[in-house]
Structure 1
Amino acid sequence: MDIVNLNDAEPFTTKDGSEIRELLAHRNSAIQAQSLAEARLPPGASTTAHYHPKTEEIYYITHGQGRMQIGEELRDVSVGDAIAIPPGLVHQITNTGEDTLRLLCCCAPGYEHEDTVLLDL
């Protein structure tokens, strides 16, 4: 049985610039086809605009508020919002609040730096 507590997950910075704590993935569990991580962005920070050629993502906001851009669409997001990000769509999230923005990121297949293409918008 694989159980990882958020407090025990080592943080690292993804290619898009967010700090994540990978909870379950092929690197630390029996999970092979997806990954679950918590990402954190300080107030005023944004991820670098990017897309994933292969990976679909779900973001689920657990703390704070932000502005999500997927393609040309821009929406405000807050606690309880789940965001669908299909493969190949350029996306970026910005923390618009005064507290750290925290979100769960589900990726299928699991997150890999190699499947992240950064853009300069």
Structure 2
Amino acid sequence: MISKDNAEHYIWGDNCDGWYLVNRKDMLVIHEKMPPGTSEKRHYHSVSRQFFFVLQGVLTMELEGVVREIKAYQGIEIPPGSVHQASNSTQSAVEFIVISQPTTRGDRNDVPAS
């Protein structure tokens, strides 16, 4: 059994949390938590397809220039090659699951800020 209580934990970005629920070459499943006012860098994955599913709060996802608000129990698929950026523009933390197939290890390409 795996949960964020016993999974390998790491800190990313601006004091955001991540827990590896599945960490294999063919699949990566991460439980992430973003504090209010945080964001990741705009980027894309050449090979990996991702699915973000919000557990708590509201996740703002910019996908190919279109901004969407994803609420609890909603998800969004990110196809390979799609420029995207997750952020939390609310006053509460947001928690979500990210499923990546295959892993995003070595498959992240940051996009310079415009």
Please report the TM-score for the alignment, with normalisation by the length of structure 1.
0.83
How many residues end up aligned between the 2 structures? 111
What is aligned with 2:83?
A: 90
Please report the TM-score for the alignment, with normalisation by the length of structure 2.
0.88
Q: C-alpha offsets along residues 33-54 of structure 1, whole Å, 9 cap, x if unaligned?
A: 2121111111010111111111
Identity %: 23
Higher strand share: 2
Q: C-alpha offsets along residues 40-77 of structure 1, whole Å, 9 cap, x if unaligned?
A: 11101011111111100000001111321111111111
1:23 to 2:15 alignment = no
Stretches of structure 2 that go unaligned for 5 or more consecutive residues are: none
What is aligned with 1:116?
A: 108
1:7 to 2:5 alignment = yes
What is aligned with 2:52?
A: 59
Higher helix share: 1
Stretches of structure 1 that go unaligned for 5 or more consecutive residues are: 27-31
- Aligned Cα RMSD in Å? 1.5
Large movers: runs of 4+ above 6 Å: none
1:25 CA drift (Å) = 2.0
